[in-house]
Amino acid sequence: MDKVRILFLPDIDSANTNAQSLTCREIALRLAPERFQITLWYERSPDTRLQDRENIRLLQLPYHGKTMRILREMLSGYDLIAYMDYSPAAYLFLHLPRAMRPAAKTVFHAEAPVAQLENPPRMLRFLYNGTFPRCDIYTGVTEFVARDIAGQIGRKVPCILPLGVQTNMFTPPEKRANASPVVLFAGTLIARKGPQLVVDAALRFPGAVFRLVGSGRGGFEEVLRARIAELRLQNVCLEGPKTQPQLLQIMRESDIFLLPSRLEGLPKVTLEAAAAGLPCIVFRDYETPSVIDGATGFQVDTVEEMMESLGKLLADPSLRERMGAAAREHVEQFDWDPVSRLWESAYLEMAGRAR
């Protein structure tokens, strides 16, 4: 049987910490080389793990003319074009008459509810409206996201493809012995992610240390700095973006992971935190399977419930230890090796329909 040819649209530069880029890399590394031929983009320096693989082709994007280069590649006879985005190239491809483009199936991998695209610029909204409803196949990262997408496109999304985590990389330390418990937030510093609630928690629990890791967007980092200064907080710090190895070290130095966002899919960072042995506090709104309420952490409904759960963990080191150990055990099922086999089976099925 001929190999299934897949083109992934996200770039796989080594410095790119975007979740979709990281996912594409992990999947590409694990798809059976005797069954799949994979093409990936990079801009400056590709993830070195993907180099010199017999079934992986790396293409460098030009500085100018990216749209036409991507479009030309999309028209090159692939079976699947995965991780369809809202780019001009994707828009142009999906608006070509069927007779003018090959029979490639376009795959939209939904990793969050549609509402996460909040107040987009006019051009992004235009591209989104012209690409999202026109794809051939849709997958959801969780049942919750699949239901949300199904409501948007008017048909069932039967394929659930979860994210994974490198459990051999994200591991707990031998022992946690902080003099003051450390609470970690990791994510983009925007209002929707809830870092302002982490600052509020620092005010409420002055005996704990709060670390916020991530890059700011739209000036929100300065909003947080101003709030911290106004409250004269000495137990909270903004640490900027970190690489995965740096984030792992910070997780090993922490005691609790707090993600106050109310609009997510399957937050990759909660899988990493669980693998590092951290109990997690998340909101119940998006029904993430990465946290089992009362066992590996807490899923909460309100800000006050979030504060109460945080208070319980801060006051009880043995509870933190039990939940952290349970989190590590629970997350083993999300290891990239078994998860990638689900993706492989799904891609084979999709390609079978394409042929």
Q: What is the mean pLDDT of residues 169-197?
A: 96
Residues 195, 147, single domain; the answer is no
pLDDT at 104 over 60: yes
pLDDT mean across residues, the chain: 94
Residues 236, 107, single domain; the answer is no
CB atoms within 10 A of CB 281: 26
Assigned domain for 52 exists:
yes
pLDDT at 346 over 70: yes
Assigned domain for 290 exists:
yes
Question: Would you state the pLDDT for residue 222?
Answer: 96
Residues 137, 255, single domain; the answer is no
Q: How many CA atoms lie within 13 A of 275 on its CB side?
A: 21
- pLDDT (tens digit, 9 = 90+) per residue, 49-79? 999 999 999 999 999 999 999 999 999 999 9
Residues 160, 25, single domain; the answer is yes
Domain holding 219, by residue range, is: 182-334
What residues pair up with 58 in beta bridges, in sequence order?
A: 40
Assigned domain for 177 exists:
no
Residues 151, 232, single domain; the answer is no
Assigned domain for 170 exists:
no
* Residue 343 buriedness (CB in 10 A; 0-12 / 13-18 / 19+): buried
Question: Would you state the pLDDT for residue 355?
Answer: 42
Q: Count of domains in the chain?
A: 2
